[in-house]
Amino acid sequence: MSKIVFRGGEIDGETSPPPSKSHTHRALFLASMAQGRSVLGNCLLSADTLATIDACRAMGASVSVDGDTATVDGGNLSAPTVPVDAKNSGTTMRIFTGLCSMFDRPVTITGDDSLKKRPMGPLLEALESCGVTCASNGGLPPVTVQGPNRGGSVSIKGSVSSQFITSLLLTAPMLKGGSIITVEGGMVSAPYLDVTTHMMRLFGADATRDGNVFTVASTGYRPYDYFVPADYSSSAFPLVAGALGGRCTASGMDPSDPQGDKRIMDILAQAGAKVRVEGRSATVERSELNACEIDMGSIPDLFPVVAVLLSTAKGESRLYGAPQLRFKESDRIETTVRMINDLGGDARGTDDGCIIRGVPRLRGGRVVHHGDHRIMMSAAVASIVCDGPVSMDDPECAAVSYPGFPAAMAKIGLKSEAE
């Protein structure tokens, strides 16, 4: 297994964050269900989205890739005849499970050891209420589903993952009579649902939201040529690096896109960094940082890097509202707190987030990220405020969402070397 050491550095430069992983997943599935050809530009081709491409091909879509462009000939889908491996991609697992409920033959979806620990219960319960036969390992993958899915009115718990709701939404236009989906309890990561319905409409669906109720007509999908926007959650790493270590400009972002993670700009400003947004570019400069209280419920992917941002902020910060972090690629509350403390910070976990008492500097050290790409990249950024180096195994895990992360960060001044 490869190893890497990050040594901080003076941050100064401009970078273009990678395309959005969540948008790429959705575009691939939508294009696969649409009858005809869609051309998807600026796709993020990472381990997770390649798992989605494999899943789309397994149900009969033709997907060809040239550079960052995917050409998808969709429609005329059928049930995969062998188990489909979602690898480490929770998005692939959850969306594809819903889509396979369209078929009247059993389909099995599995994944790696990490994915087999991630809950599927709320989605399976909702599918069963629509007439789908479901089997699982006590609510965990691997799962087997057999339709047909009759659609109609369905309720689903919204407190664990918005991906369950996205799965039902994306499937609904393909069902006779459409669906009325009611989300019970809290609705975590709600901005992702806005992304889902926005993209569904681009591909010809009739999907509306009224509070916690989504209404989707039985329209099917039509082909659409789509350009994947830059990813705000990935832009957070160079922008936080700028706030901690100098200055950074991230370009290519679309401020009109409904990505919830664009809140990183507000969080940086709230913490005291100098923030300037001009068109599709944002520049962040170092300044004295102060403690914050931030509701992370709709932006859980930002949790680790925001914790790093506040690790040396003056005062006591509280990140709250995101119990779903317990069920990500790792228990992200536990791994984030451990990362901060292993580097010499002062953090403790809570049921839905953490408390961070800012220290003047971190000391550095070794970080165990458990294969979680966001922990790995956050620890790299933390090296900017460490007196010593930050070392870790398996830097390749960053390729899940940010291929070429060490090289991209080196261009703005973050020093690293193979160990």
Nearest to 206 by CA among 196, 220, 198, 216: 216
Question: Between β-strands 107-110 and 347-350, what pairing exists: parallel, antiparallel or unpaired?
Answer: unpaired
Given the residues 48, 301, 352, 372, the one annotated as active site: 301
DSSP 287: -
Q: For residue 44, report the phi and psi dihedrals to the nearest 5 degrees.
A: -85, 115
DSSP string, 267-333: HHHHHT-EEEEETTEEEEE----B--EEE-TT-GGGHHHHHHHHTTSBSEEEEES-GGGGGSSS-HH
Q: Cβ contacts of residue 81 below 8 Å, gap of 6+? A: none
DSSP string, 200-266: HHHTT--EEEETTEEEE-S-------EEPPBPHHHHHHHHHHHHHHEEEEEE---TTS--GGGGHHH
Task: Tell me the two tokens of residue 62.
Answer: 């033709």
Amino acid sitting at position 20:
S
Q: How far apart are the first and last CA of the chain?
A: 11
Nearest to 101 by CA among 116, 79, 120: 79
Residue 301 catalytic? Answer: yes
Task: Tell me the two tokens of residue 87.
Answer: 């690898």
3 state DSSP class of 59: coil
What is the residue whose two structure tokens read 């059993």?
A: 106
**Helices (runs of H) and strands (runs of E) counted in the chain:** 12, 24
Task: Give dist(CA 313, CA 291) in Å, integer.
Answer: 5
Q: Give the helix/strand (H/E) hosting 62.
A: strand 62-66
CA atoms 70, 76, 77, 81: torsion sign: negative
Q: Is residue 71 classed exposed, middle or buried when 0-12, 13-18 and 19+ CB atoms within 10 A define those classes?
A: middle
DSSP 85: E
Task: Give dist(CA 219, CA 217) in Å, integer.
Answer: 6
Q: Would you please indicate which residues are annotated as catalytic (active-site) residues?
A: 301
